[in-house]
């Protein structure tokens, strides 16, 4: 799902926030990102949401080259992410319910969906009985759970929680962790940035440790376990199997083949597909819309078209057939 490939961020010649950071996160994974203040965790988050650009290196999210993304496409990209910021950022002038509704209203959802989604999310974070209270009337733990609900409003593919338990008591911290774990079990990929040793030790899941702008450990286990990450280069044009071995992420074929598809003759209507799916089809010499229309479920499986790519492909074909029928 996410690949940081030798990412460096320099603010000045003497200030380097990140230095050749490489790691990957798979779809459905639960990961902790830990490290002392100034380690580079916040900079990494800013790069992910494209608040800043890297000095060098590549950031790939679901086949999107984040650092090359046109500004006009940033809102669409950011809808794929759910961010729970350290300072919570609930709107003080709105009730908890209105905070969640507002997140849905600004992306153009209809009233029926807004109501259903808001009710579901309040139930998910166990705050349905606090819906009419303003943030100032909520405890710290309730505010944080409300922020998680708001971050989930647009059904993101990837949820990032930045120090979600930083100012909470242990009981509230574990309540937040249970909710994040439940969200992950439901299929959402989750990354938690934290200093909370007890939180990490309870989960016993993957822990990426940063210090001095570098990843110094990447290991499954507790907070204090240190296992040095792979040191070899992880360029996206490296062989796929080498990448799997080094950073534990499944790299789609299009990351290898993306630059080669321009040399293949194909039906230009296929340009309406996302780059990843298109590259997989062209690699298999499926170069016309007629061939695409005749693909079977077994064909899609053999082509390694994942669930999200299938959904996008089905939508593309429906639109194509609809426009053809109109003509």
Domain boundaries, the chain: 2-80+156-220, 254-326
Confidence of residue 23 (pLDDT cuts 50, 70, 90): very high
Quick one: how far is CA 82 from the chain centroid?
8
Exposed/middle/buried for 13, CB within 10 Å: 0-12, 13-18, 19+? exposed
| Residue written as token pair 């380097």 | 16
Using the predicted structure, report yes or no on whether residue 234 has a pLDDT greater than 70: no
Given CATH 3.40.50.300, say whether it is the number of domain 2-80+156-220: yes
pLDDT, one tens digit per residue, over 268-312 is 888 888 878 888 888 777 888 888 887 777 678 777 788 888 888
Question: How far is the C-alpha of 213 from the C-alpha of 5, rounded, in Å?
Answer: 14
| Average model confidence (pLDDT) across the chain | 82
Tell me the average pLDDT across 1-26.
91
- What length does the chain have? 327
Count other Cβ atoms within 10 Å, centred on residue 322. Answer: 9
Is 103 within 8 Å of 95 (Cβ atoms)?
no
Inter-CA distances, 203 with 23, 127, 165, 178, Å: 20, 24, 14, 10
Determine the pLDDT at residue 251. Answer: 39
Q: Taking residues 233-252, what's their average pLDDT?
A: 44
Average pLDDT over residues 27-44: 89
Confidence at residue 280, expressed as pLDDT on a 0 to 100 scale: 83
Q: How confident is the model at residue 174 (pLDDT cuts 50, 70, 90)?
A: confident
Dist. CA 177–CA 169, nearest whole Å:
12
């Amino acid at each position: 799902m996410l690949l940081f490939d030798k990412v460096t961020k320099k603010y000045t010649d003497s200030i380097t926030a990140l230095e050749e950071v490489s790691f990957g996160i798979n779809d459905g994974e639960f990961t902790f990102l830990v490290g002392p203040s100034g380690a580079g965790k916040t900079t990494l988050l800013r790069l992910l949401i494209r608040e800043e650009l890297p000095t060098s290196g590549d950031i790939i999210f679901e086949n999107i080259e984040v650092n090359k993304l046109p500004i006009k496409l940033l809102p669409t990209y950011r809808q794929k992410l759910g961010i729970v910021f350290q300072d919570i950022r609930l709107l003080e002038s709105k009730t908890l319910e209105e905070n969640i509704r507002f997140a849905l209203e600004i992306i153009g959802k209809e009233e029926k969906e807004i109501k259903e989604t808001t009710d579901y999310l309040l139930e998910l974070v166990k705050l349905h009985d606090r819906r009419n209270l303003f943030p100032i009337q909520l405890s710290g733990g309730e505010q944080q759970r409300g922020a998680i609900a708001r971050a989930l409003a647009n059904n993101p593919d990837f949820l990032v929680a930045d120090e979600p338990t930083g100012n909470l008591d242990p009981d509230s911290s574990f309540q937040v962790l249970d909710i994040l774990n439940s969200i992950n079990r439901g299929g959402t990929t989750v990354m938690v940035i934290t200093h909370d040793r007890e939180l990490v030790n309870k989960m016993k899941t993957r822990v990426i440790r940063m210090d001095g702008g570098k990843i110094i450990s990447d290991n499954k286990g507790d907070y204090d376990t240190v296992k040095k990450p792979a040191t070899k280069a992880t360029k996206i044009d490296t062989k796929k199997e080498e990448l799997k071995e080094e950073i534990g992420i499944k790299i789609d074929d299009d990351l290898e083949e993306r630059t080669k598809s321009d040399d293949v003759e194909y039906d230009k209507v296929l340009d309406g597909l996302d780059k990843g799916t298109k590259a997989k089809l062209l690699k298999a010499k499926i170069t016309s819309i007629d061939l695409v229309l005749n693909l079977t479920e077994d064909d899609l499986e053999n082509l390694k078209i994942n669930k999200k790519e299938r959904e996008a492909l089905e939508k593309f074909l429906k639109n194509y057939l609809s426009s053809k029928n109109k003509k």
